[in-house]
Amino acid sequence: NAGVMQNPRHLVRRRGQEARLRCSPMKGHSHVYWYRQLPEEGLKFMVYLQKENIIDESGMPKERFSAEFPKEGPSILRIQQVVRGDSAAYFCASSPTSGGLNEQFFGPGTRLTVL
């Protein structure tokens, strides 16, 4: 009964490159959420997706960031032309529903370092 899976666990990019972060939700979960955590700060919501739909992207920066959750395969968070300020831990969470308690379970995270 695998939990939320994320890869890679660590990613190093040079300024201007693209970063692709992948997330597979827990079995039976169809709701995926991405959060960013800067060093010594709390978690900031970025985007909420269901299969083939972006439901809430109110926390996504307007430029360079995009997310998808295709019918088949993992959810992808893509950061184009990375800058040093993008260095952070990116966590994916999943839940079985969006209503009710909406308990979200987190993956191990991807730690992005931009050189």
Partner 1 sequence: QKEVEQNSGPLSVPEGAIASLNCTYSDRVSQSFFWYRQYSGKSPELIMSIYSNGDKEDGRFTAQLNKASQYVSLLIRDSQPSDSATYLCAVKPSSSASKIIFGSGTRLSIRP
> Which residues from 28-57 bind partner 1, rule CB under 8 A?
31, 33, 35, 41-45, 48, 55-56
- What is the C-alpha to C-alpha distance for residues 96 and 76, in angstroms, rounded to an integer? 19
Binding string, 53-72, against partner 1, x = CB under 8 A?
--xx-xx-------------
Pairing of strands 110-114, 10-13: parallel
**Amino acid occupying residue 52:** E
Smallest distance, partner 1 to C-beta of residue 100, A: 8
Smallest distance, partner 1 to C-beta of residue 81, A: 26
For partner 1, the closer CB: 14 or 100: 100
DSSP assignment of 12-69, as one string? EE-TT--EEEEEEPPTT--EEEEEEE-TTS-EEEEEEEETTEEEE-TTS-SSSEEEE-
What residues line the site for partner 1 (CB under 8 A)?
31, 33, 35, 41-45, 48, 55-56, 58-59, 91, 98-109
